[in-house]
């Protein structure tokens, strides 16, 4: 069994050596073979130099270095693209997530789980604000989105090869990996753990970045913001229509109580509401166009059977064939191979 450990790195020079030592110890004891893939996300400190040194001494170390900072989610994606293991672990470089949890993840994986995500029991060294924002973020996104994203869970997780390939098929940008992992499905299990404090350096996620990530996550997995506009417009239209009806009836039966100003205000609200409804309808179409432009696969197959001597009706178009990650799905010899995920051989 080969284990890949993917580590996005942005200015983490003080953490890389202890991280490497701890992952090496765990991997050597629990995997037949392993690779550690460092993705240097345009670090401006000595991170890349440290990674190169690690590579010199340890053939299990591989790295990809970006031309500039592309952001955590993209760095993670590059790591997944390059990972060749049967099981792939995503871990931050700052040692907040203890590598010693990996053996428990491997156990769960060997017992049949496809994703083992580490769920935080405790998060020392993080401000009250960060905890509150994380608490609100996970609850909000689950309320609004159409996939179940586990609460109090970061990127620290183990994924089966098939899950990684399915996630890598999703090339949308902006992207929210945790959401994509939930989206692809398969058997996902939580593993409770205690998060440590950052070993060295400081967090790269300030308030602005956190808000942007949250907005991207919500927009990527939910049309709720667009629907909310539609509902708001509908509610305003309906209420102003009802109130104007009351005003008209009152003016008819009790002309002394006629209130032209109130009626004008209602008319304004009505028009505003109609405008919002129109905007919401256009928004929904835009939302669907956005969904199409994400180019996610329509579905992800876990297993299939009975196709050994039959050709699926749509198999003439490899793009329409189910995933090549499907176990037991035999592609007939005369049909072209389904498009594979491009995994470039990592270069030194």
What residues make contact with ligand UDP under the rule CB under 6 A? 8-10, 12, 41, 69, 71-72, 75, 92-94, 96, 203-205
Angle ∠(219,225,231) on CA atoms, nearest 5: 160
Rounded to a whole number of angstroms, the minimum distance from the CB of residue 76 to ligand UDP is 7
| Helical (H) or strand (E) element with 154 | strand 153-160
Smaller CB separation from ligand UDP, 66 or 183:
66
Annotate 33-83 with DSSP letters as a single string: EEEEEEEE-S-SSSHHHHHHHHHHH-TTEEEEE-SS---HHHHHHHHHHH-
As given in the structure block, the two tokens for residue 222 are 């939910």
Rounded to a whole number of angstroms, the minimum distance from the CB of residue 216 to Mg ion is 18
Smaller CB separation from ligand UDP, 60 or 195:
195
Q: Quick one: what does residue 183 bind among Mg ion, ligand UDP, none, with the CB cut-off 5 to 8 Å set by partner type? A: none
Q: Quick one: what does residue 140 bind among ligand UDP, Mg ion, none, with the CB cut-off 5 to 8 Å set by partner type? A: none
Describe the strand order of the beta sheet including 188-194 as a list of residue ranges. 61-65, 33-40, 2-9, 87-90, 153-160, 115-122, 188-194
As given in the structure block, the two tokens for residue 27 are 């991997």
When asked if residue 153 is in the footprint of Mg ion (CB under 5 A), the reply is no
Angstrom distance (rounded) from CA 209 to CA 192: 26
Q: Quick one: what does residue 204 bind among ligand UDP, Mg ion, none, with the CB cut-off 5 to 8 Å set by partner type? A: ligand UDP
Smaller CB separation from ligand UDP, 206 or 328:
206
Rounded to a whole number of angstroms, the minimum distance from the CB of residue 192 to ligand UDP is 18
Rounded to a whole number of angstroms, the minimum distance from the CB of residue 271 to ligand UDP is 45
From 4-12, 92-100, 232-240, 308-316, span contacting Mg ion (CB under 5 A): 92-100
Closest residue by Cα to residue 193 from 117, 93, 129:
117
CA distances from 225 to 140, 141, 209, 231 (A): 12, 11, 20, 10
Angstrom distance (rounded) from CA 236 to CA 211: 29
Would you tell me how many other CB atoms lie within 10 Å of the CB of residue 100?
Answer: 12
User: Of 96, 188, 214, 322, which lies in the binding site for Mg ion, with binding defined by CB under 5 A?
Assistant: 96
Q: Quick one: what does residue 10 bind among Mg ion, ligand UDP, none, with the CB cut-off 5 to 8 Å set by partner type? A: ligand UDP
Tokens 């996939």 identify what position? 147
When asked if residue 165 is in the footprint of Mg ion (CB under 5 A), the reply is no
Rounded to a whole number of angstroms, the minimum distance from the CB of residue 1 to ligand UDP is 25
Q: Quick one: what does residue 69 bind among ligand UDP, Mg ion, none, with the CB cut-off 5 to 8 Å set by partner type? A: ligand UDP
User: Of 35, 40, 73, 94, which lies in the binding site for Mg ion, with binding defined by CB under 5 A?
Assistant: 94
Smaller CB separation from Mg ion, 74 or 230:
74
Rounded to a whole number of angstroms, the minimum distance from the CB of residue 50 to ligand UDP is 13
When asked if residue 76 is in the footprint of Mg ion (CB under 5 A), the reply is no
- DSSP classification of residue 171: -
Binding site for Mg ion (CB under 5 A): 92, 94, 96
């Amino acid at each position: 069994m080969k284990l890949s450990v993917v580590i996005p790195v942005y200015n983490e020079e003080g953490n890389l050596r202890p991280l490497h030592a701890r992952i090496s110890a765990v991997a050597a004891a629990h995997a037949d073979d392993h690779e550690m893939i460092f993705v240097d996300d345009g670090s401006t400190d000595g991170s890349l130099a440290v990674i190169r040194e690690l590579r010199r001494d340890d053939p299990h170390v591989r790295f990809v270095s970006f031309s500039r900072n592309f952001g955590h989610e993209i760095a993670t994606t590059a790591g997944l693209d390059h990972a060749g293991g049967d099981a792939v672990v995503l871990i931050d470089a700052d040692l907040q997530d203890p590598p010693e949890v990996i053996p428990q993840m491997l156990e769960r994986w060997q017992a049949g789980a496809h994703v083992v995500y580490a769920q935080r029991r405790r998060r020392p060294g993080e401000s009250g604000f960060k905890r509150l924002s994380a608490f609100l973020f996970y609850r909000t996104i689950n309320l609004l989105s159409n996939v179940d994203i586990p609460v109090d869970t970061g990127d620290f997780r183990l994924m089966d090869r098939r899950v990684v390939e399915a996630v890598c098929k999703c090339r949308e940008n902006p992207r929210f990996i945790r959401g994509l992992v939930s989206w692809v499905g398969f058997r996902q299990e939580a593993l409770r753990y205690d998060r440590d404090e950052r070993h060295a350096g400081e967090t790269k996620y300030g308030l602005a970045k956190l808000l942007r990530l949250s907005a991207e996550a919500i927009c990527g997995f939910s049309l709720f913001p667009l629907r909310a506009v539609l509902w708001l417009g509908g509610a305003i239209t309906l209420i102003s229509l009802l109130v104007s009806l009351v005003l008209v009836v009152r003016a008819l039966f009790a002309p002394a109580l006629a209130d032209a100003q109130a009626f004008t205000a209602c008319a304004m609200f009505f028009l505003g509401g109609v405008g919002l409804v129109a905007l919401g309808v256009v928004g929904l179409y835009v939302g669907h166009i956005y969904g199409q432009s994400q180019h996610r696969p329509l579905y992800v197959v876990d297993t299939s059977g009975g196709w050994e001597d039959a050709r699926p009706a749509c198999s003439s178009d490899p793009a329409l064939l189910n995933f090549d990650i499907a176990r037991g799905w035999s592609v007939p010899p005369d049909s072209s191979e389904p498009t594979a995920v491009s995994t470039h051989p990592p270069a030194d």
